[in-house]
């Protein structure tokens, strides 16, 4: 960039070289009061371009470059703002994804804990089922043993029952009193008789006892078998209930496994989105860094060009002062003029109104002609312009007076146009001082501090002007570096 700026400064250096040896004129630029248009003695256009023309061209070129750079800077700032917005949105989205990922991680941890709990419950349930099945197996074995005992006992009972039936049948078939009596009488002794009687009684008692035992044993076995079958049924119900519980636990675990798989899948997708968003965020960060560098580059280039622009304006002002000095020297020998003697044609009662643009124009010409003078000197220049507006010898508007050909050197040189252009540019406006603006507002309908003066100029380059004014009895005022006088006189 430094090389680029050295190239930009070359025309200014060339201008300075062309003007080497010239003397800077201290003070405000001069007003062209030669009346050249009225006498037909206007200057002819130069056949070659002057250094001032080159400076004006360079000012125009730099102004265009500054405008283009400012447009580029605004676009870069808009792009930077858009990148900031996009970055903020991606950051918000990434924060949301991080929250989702953390929430899913918590859910997965809880679900996996639930799965482990269900697995432990299933293990306990399966152990309980196994214990019940062992109990059932043991009960079934007991039932089988009991049934075997019942069958064996039933066989014994059946045999005893058959024997008992035979005895009973025999006894009942042979149970007549005579037969029993004969049996007893057939005993050969009392002992034998008693033995036989006791035997018969014992047999009856034995059969009765066997019958009772049969009934009791049969009932006890039946009750035991029924109890075992009832216990077996209860254990089967418990086993089926445990199996159902186990199936329910397995279903819940399967659902938890499915939920865990779903959560892990969602977590995987969120992680992928996190990676993508993080990459996008980094891209915006990189673009913002690049955008900031671009903005800084534009601002640095604009600042450098603004400095160069101010240097050009200073050079232009110096050259305008040189041109004004040269014209003053030429006009020192000019004796022409169309306003000689008599009434100035000023209507002091004329009410002048001015638009905002005209007020700015008036302040600008005051600044160009007397920006370096005192406030009284700035008022005097403004009153000369307003005297001309009210005079029938000149245009009756501020714009007409200021732009009347060959009257004001800043108009002719282009300096006035430059000052107005700068005021329209928000980056360089404010060149016109507040005192010049205040003077413009005051002279619109104020009382002139230079009477009915219609002309002014710097008097030091042409000291004979004061002699001619005094010789012709023309009133004049000296304020600062300017002399203000009522009518034209040769000098």
Name, in order, each residue with C-beta under 8 angstroms of 228's C-beta and a sequence gap of 6 or more: 139, 142, 143, 146
Q: Which DSSP letter does residue 26 get?
A: P
Kindly report the pTM of this predicted structure: 0.43
* Of residues 425, 428, 432, 433, the one with CA closest to residue 307: 428
Cα distance between residue 485 and residue 36, in whole Å: 17
- What are the residues facing 476 on neighbouring strands? 485
Q: Judge whether 310 and 418 are in contact, CB under 8 Å.
A: no
Q: Judge whether 116 and 222 are in contact, CB under 8 Å.
A: no
Secondary structure string (H, E, C) spanning 421-454: HHHHCCCCCCCCCHHHHHHHHHHCCCCCCCCCCC
| Helices and strands per DSSP (H, E), number in the chain | 12, 3
The tokens for 82 are: 């858009």
End-to-end CA distance of the chain: 53
CA angle 136, 138, 142 (to 5 degrees): 110
In a structure prediction context, what are the per-residue pLDDT tens digits for the chain, which is 491 residues long?
433 333 343 344 434 433 333 322 323 334 444 333 332 333 333 446 777 788 888 888 888 889 899 889 999 999 999 899 998 998 989 899 899 999 999 999 999 999 999 899 999 888 898 998 898 898 888 888 888 887 887 787 778 778 777 776 666 665 555 565 666 667 677 677 677 677 777 777 887 787 788 788 878 888 888 988 888 898 888 889 988 988 998 999 899 999 999 999 999 999 999 899 999 899 989 999 999 999 999 999 899 988 998 888 888 877 776 676 566 545 443 433 334 334 678 988 888 989 999 999 999 999 999 999 999 999 999 999 999 999 999 999 999 999 999 899 999 988 999 999 999 988 888 889 999 999 999 999 888 999 999 999 987 777 888 888 999 889 999 999 999 999 877 66
* Of residues 246, 304, 222, the one with CA closest to residue 118: 246
User: Domain spans of the chain?
Assistant: 339-491
Cα distance between residue 31 and residue 482, in whole Å: 10
* Of residues 333, 228, 284, the one with CA closest to residue 82: 284
DSSP 317-338: HHHHHHHHHHHHHHHTT----S
Q: What are phi and psi of 172, to 5 degrees?
A: -75, -35
How many Å is the maximal CA-CA distance in the chain?
216
* Of residues 256, 285, 345, 246, the one with CA closest to residue 91: 285
Q: Judge whether 126 and 246 are in contact, CB under 8 Å.
A: yes
Name, in order, each residue with C-beta under 8 angstroms of 56's C-beta and a sequence gap of 6 or more: 316, 414, 418
Find tokens 């039933």 and name the residue: 154
Q: What is the CATH number of domain 339-491?
A: 1.10.10.2520
Find tokens 């035991």 and name the residue: 224
Residue 323 CB burial class (10 angstroms; 0-12, 13-18, ≥19): buried
């Amino acid at each position: 960039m430094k090389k680029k700026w050295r190239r930009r400064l070359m025309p200014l250096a060339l201008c300075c070289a062309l003007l080497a040896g010239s003397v800077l004129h201290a003070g405000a630029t001069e007003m062209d009061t030669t009346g050249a248009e009225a006498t037909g003695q206007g200057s002819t256009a130069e056949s070659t371009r002057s250094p001032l023309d080159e400076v004006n061209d360079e000012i125009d070129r730099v102004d265009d470059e500054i405008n283009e750079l400012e447009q580029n800077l605004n676009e870069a700032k808009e792009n930077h703002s858009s990148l900031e917005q996009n970055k903020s949105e991606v950051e918000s989205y990434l924060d949301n994804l991080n929250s989702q990922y953390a929430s899913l991680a918590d859910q997965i941890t809880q679900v996996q804990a639930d799965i482990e709990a269900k697995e432990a419950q299933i293990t306990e349930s399966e152990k309980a089922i196994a214990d019940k099945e062992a109990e059932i197996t043991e009960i079934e074995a007991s039932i089988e043993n009991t049934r075997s005992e019942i069958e064996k006992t039933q066989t014994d009972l059946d045999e005893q029952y058959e024997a008992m039936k035979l005895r009973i049948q025999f006894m009942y078939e042979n149970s007549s009193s005579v037969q029993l009596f004969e049996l007893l009488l057939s005993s050969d002794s009392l002992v034998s008789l008693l033995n036989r009687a006791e035997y018969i009684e014992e047999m009856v008692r034995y059969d009765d006892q066997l019958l009772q035992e049969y009934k009791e044993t049969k009932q006890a076995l039946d009750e035991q078998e029924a109890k075992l079958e009832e216990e077996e049924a209860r254990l089967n119900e418990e086993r089926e209930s445990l199996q159902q519980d186990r199936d329910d636990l397995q279903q819940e675990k399967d659902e938890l496994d499915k939920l865990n798989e779903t959560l892990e899948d969602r977590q995987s997708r969120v992680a992928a989105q996190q990676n993508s968003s993080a990459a996008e965020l980094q891209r915006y960060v990189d673009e913002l860094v690049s955008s900031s560098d671009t903005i800084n580059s534009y601002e640095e280039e604009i600042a450098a060009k603004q400095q160069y622009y101010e240097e050009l304006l200073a050079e232009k002002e110096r050259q305008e002062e040189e041109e004004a000095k040269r014209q003053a020297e030429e006009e020192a020998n000019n004796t022409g003029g169309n306003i000689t003697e008599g009434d100035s044609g000023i209507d002091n009662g004329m009410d002048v109104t001015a638009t905002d643009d005209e007020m700015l124009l008036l302040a600008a010409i005051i600044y160009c002609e007397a920006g370096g003078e005192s406030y009284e000197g700035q008022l005097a220049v403004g009153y000369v312009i307003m005297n001309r507006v009210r005079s029938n010898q000149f245009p009756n508007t501020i714009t007409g007076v200021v732009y009347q050909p060959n009257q004001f050197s800043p108009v002719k040189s282009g300096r006035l146009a430059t000052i107005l252009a700068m005021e329209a540019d928000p980056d360089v406006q404010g060149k016109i001082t507040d005192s010049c603006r205040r003077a413009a507002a005051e002279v619109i309908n104020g009382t002139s501090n230079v009477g009915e003066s219609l002309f002014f100029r710097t008097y030091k380059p042409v000291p004979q002007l004061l002699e001619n004014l005094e010789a012709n009895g023309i009133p004049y005022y000296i304020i600062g570096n300017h002399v203000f006088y009522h009518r034209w006189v040769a000098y």
